[in-house]
Amino acid sequence: MSDADITLIVLGVAIVAFISNRFPVEIVAIAVSVALYATGVVTARDVFAGFGDPVIAFIAALFVVSASLEASGVTAWLSGVLSRLAGDSRMRAGLALLLLAAVLSALITINGAAAALLPVVVATALRLGVAPSRMLIPFAFACSAGSLLTLSGSPVNVIVDEAFRTEGGGGFGYFEYAAIGAPLVVVTVVIVLALGPRLLPSRGDAPGSQGRSAPAHRHRMTGSRGYRLEISPSSDLVDRRAREVVTEPLQLVGVQDRAHVAVSDNHRLRVGDSLVVTGPDDAARTLGAQTQTVVRALDAAGPDELARRDEGLLEAVVPPRSDWVGRRVFPGMTVTDGVEVVSVSRRGSDRGARSTDLVQGDAVLLHGGWDALSAFGDMQLLLVDDPEELRGTPTSLAPTAPRAIFIVVAMIVVLATGLVPASVTALVAAAATVLLRVLTPERAMRAMPIQTIILIGALIPLSLAVQSTGAADKIAGPVVDLVQGRSPYLVLLVLFVLTAALGQFISNAATVLIVIPIALATAAEVHMSIAPVLMTVTVAGAASLLTPIATPANLIIMAPGGLSLRRLLAAGWGGDAGLARGIAGTDPAHLAGVRDGAPQSNTDRTPVAVPSGTATGVRC
Position 300 scores a pLDDT of 53
Q: Closest Cα partner for 154 from 507, 517, 546, 612?
A: 507
Nearest to 16 by CA among 505, 601, 459: 505
Asked if residue 287 has pLDDT above 70, the reply is: yes
Q: Which of 230-234, 394-398, 417-421, 571-575 has the lowest mean pLDDT?
A: 571-575
Indicate the pLDDT class of residue 424, thresholds 50, 70 and 90.
Answer: very high
Model pLDDT, residue 378:
64
The pLDDT value recorded for residue 575 is 34
Q: Which of 68-72, 296-300, 370-374 has the lowest mean pLDDT?
A: 296-300
The stretch 77-88 carries a mean pLDDT of 72
Amino acid 206: pLDDT: 40
The DSSP annotation for 87-154 comes to TT-HHHHHHHHHHHHHHHHHHHHHHHHHHHHHHHHHHHHHHHT--HHHHHHHHHHHHHHHTTSSGGG-
pLDDT by residue (tens digit) across 454-479?
888 888 888 888 888 888 888 888 87
d(CA 128, CA 130) in angstroms, rounded, equals 5
- Rounded average pLDDT over 228-233: 88
- State yes or no: cis peptide before 488, omega within 30 of 0: no
Instruction: Specify which residues 294 forms β-bridges with.
Output: 230
Q: Decide if pLDDT at 305 tops 70.
A: no
DSSP 3-state of 263 = strand
Region 9-20: what's the mean pLDDT? 86
Q: Distance between terminal CA atoms of the chain?
A: 34
pLDDT at 599: 34
Q: Which long-range contacts (CB under 8 A, 24 or more apart) does 562-569 make?
A: 562/132, 562/133, 562/204, 562/206, 562/208, 563/133, 563/136, 563/137, 567/201, 568/137
pLDDT band at 211 (very low <50, low <70, confident <90, very high): very low
H helix runs in 448-585, sequence order: 450-468, 471-483, 488-503, 508-525, 530-541, 552-558, 565-572
Confidence bin at 536 (pLDDT 50/70/90): very high
346 has a pLDDT exceeding 70: yes
**Which pLDDT does position 31 carry in this prediction?**
93
Query: Quick check: 11 and 462 in contact, CB under 8 A?
Result: yes
Fold of 217-392: Alpha-Beta Plaits (3.30.70)
Per-residue confidence band for 416, with pLDDT thresholds at 50, 70 and 90: confident
pLDDT at 377: 64
| Least confident range of 114-118, 204-208, 306-310, 544-548 | 204-208
Work out the pLDDT band at 187, boundaries 50, 70, 90. Answer: very high
Average pLDDT rounded to a whole number, residues 584-605: 31
Between these two residues, 210 and 571, which has the higher pLDDT value? 571
By DSSP bridging, strand 226-230 and strand 294-297 are: antiparallel
Residue type, 48: F
pLDDT of residue 582 exceeding 60: no
Q: Which residues contact 34 (CB under 8 A, 6 or more apart)?
A: 47
Query: What is the pLDDT, as a whole number, of residue 391?
Result: 59
Edge-first strand listing for the sheet containing 294-297: 262-263, 251-256, 274-278, 226-230, 294-297
Give residue 5's identity as a one-letter amino acid code: D
> What percent of the chain clears pLDDT 90, i.e. is strictly above it?
12
Average pLDDT over residues 303-331: 76
The answer to whether residue 521 scores a pLDDT higher than 70 is yes
Stretch 323-342: mean pLDDT, rounded? 87
Per-residue pLDDT tens digits for 348-385: 777 888 888 999 888 888 888 877 887 776 677 887 76
- Per DSSP, 241 falls in state B
Q: Is the pLDDT of residue 6 over 50?
A: yes
Greater model confidence, 338 or 379:
338
What is the 3 state secondary structure string of 541-566? HCCCCCCCCCCHHHHHHHCCCCCCHH
Its pTM surpasses 0.85:
no
Taking residues 538-557, what's their average pLDDT? 76
Average pLDDT of every residue of the chain: 77
Phi-psi sector, 247: left (phi>0), alpha (psi -120 to 50), beta: beta
Q: Which residue has the higher pLDDT, 34 or 92?
A: 34
Q: What's the longest Cα–Cα distance across the chain?
A: 98
pLDDT digits (tens, 9 = 90+) for 132-183: 778 888 888 898 899 999 988 888 898 899 889 888 877 888 889 999 999 9
Instruction: Give the pLDDT score at 9.
Output: 93
